Amino acid sequence: MPTHELLATCWTSAGDSAPLRNELSPLPLEERVRAIAAGGWQGIGLNATDLRAARDHIGWSGLRDLVDAAGLRHTEVELVSDWWTTGAPKVESDATRDLLLDAAVALGARHVKAGCPFGADPSTWPTLVAPLRELVGVAGERGVRVALEPLPFSSVASVPLGARLVAEVDHPGLGLLVDAWHVFRAGTGLEELRDALPPGSVFGVELDDADPEVVGTLFEDTVERRRYPGEGCFDLEGLVRVVAGTGFTGPWGVEVISAEHRALPVEEGLRRAHESASALLTRALG
């Protein structure tokens, strides 16, 4: 049993697939699950597109059997977006939400990840309180928690701002998804991060690293040039200690999204991600 449990988030095992483009992994789900288990991971993440395909191919019970047979103890599902909209986008968002909630219940997932409005003015975050409260309420009726992921290119542009939104919603089923990339690319310091995170507020963590300079837009940088933990400029050991100080014990997600990672055989990419994250956690926490 490893000291620190690791979860391969969806993009880490998806092969040549990336957010907002070709989101359906070209790899057979059975191959991904087998590679994750063989690589020493304890958890798997899947996105809505892959989950929809799995539901239609083997059903929720078949997916649960596949994950259980591999010995994976943790699952994570993503991503519900446009929950803040109205009209046709909201109808589509609600359908994705319901799919993710069905999957979360069937798999016993830790939470459903929720995104934030791209490109919006950060001063508008209070307008998200009511629709987020609605989302969390619907999820709570199914016994599922929601993990909000702040993004530096969205109206919830930092983890501290996300923590303010979570506090305003004030629901035990809502917490934060702390992605190292979005923490440091937003310019959030560790002291500021520590002050923003009360005990129990972190539902999930994603570990990744980066080069010192942003290349292209923030979004292009985040989907093309992430590095394996410990191979970039982020103070990940400090971040891990801050998050652990809130009472978070894992599993620790690893989210590597890059052209380099996508080009590797899935087994090789998973090995590099697992080894680097394991070494990081050992350095940070012993």
Per-position pLDDT tens, the chain of length 286: 347 999 999 999 999 999 988 899 999 999 999 999 999 999 999 999 999 999 999 999 999 999 999 999 999 999 999 999 999 999 999 999 999 999 999 999 989 999 999 998 989 999 999 999 999 999 999 999 999 999 999 999 999 999 999 999 999 999 999 999 999 999 999 999 999 999 999 999 999 999 999 999 999 999 999 999 999 999 999 999 999 999 999 999 999 999 999 999 999 999 999 999 999 999 999 8
What predicted TM-score, i.e. pTM, was given to this entire model?
0.95
For the chain, give every domain's residue range: 6-285
Residue 22 pLDDT? 86
Rounded-to-integer distance, Cα 244 and Cα 282, Å: 13
Residue 60 pLDDT? 98
Which CATH number among 3.90.1170.50, 3.40.30.10, 3.10.290.10, 3.20.20.150 corresponds to the domain 6-285?
3.20.20.150
Rounded-to-integer distance, Cα 193 and Cα 236, Å: 13
Rounded-to-integer distance, Cα 134 and Cα 173, Å: 12
Contact partners, residue 90, CB within 8 Å, separation at least 6 = 82, 83
Angle at 126 between CA 125 and CA 130, to 5 degrees: 115
Residue 2 pLDDT? 47
For 60-76, b/e burial (b = at least 16 CB within 10 A) is eeebbebbeebebebbb
188 and 195 Cβ atoms separated by less than 8 Å: no
CB atoms within 10 A of CB 30: 11
Rounded-to-integer distance, Cα 163 and Cα 176, Å: 7
80 and 111 Cβ atoms separated by less than 8 Å: no
- Chain position carrying tokens 């059997």: 65
Q: Which helix (H) or strand (E) holds 161?
A: helix 159-169
Residue 5 — φ and ψ, nearest 5°? -80, 140
101 and 112 Cβ atoms separated by less than 8 Å: yes
Contact partners, residue 38, CB within 8 Å, separation at least 6 = 267
- Coil/strand/helix, residue 15: coil
**For residue 251, is the peptide bond before it cis, meaning its omega torsion is within 30 degrees of 0?**
yes
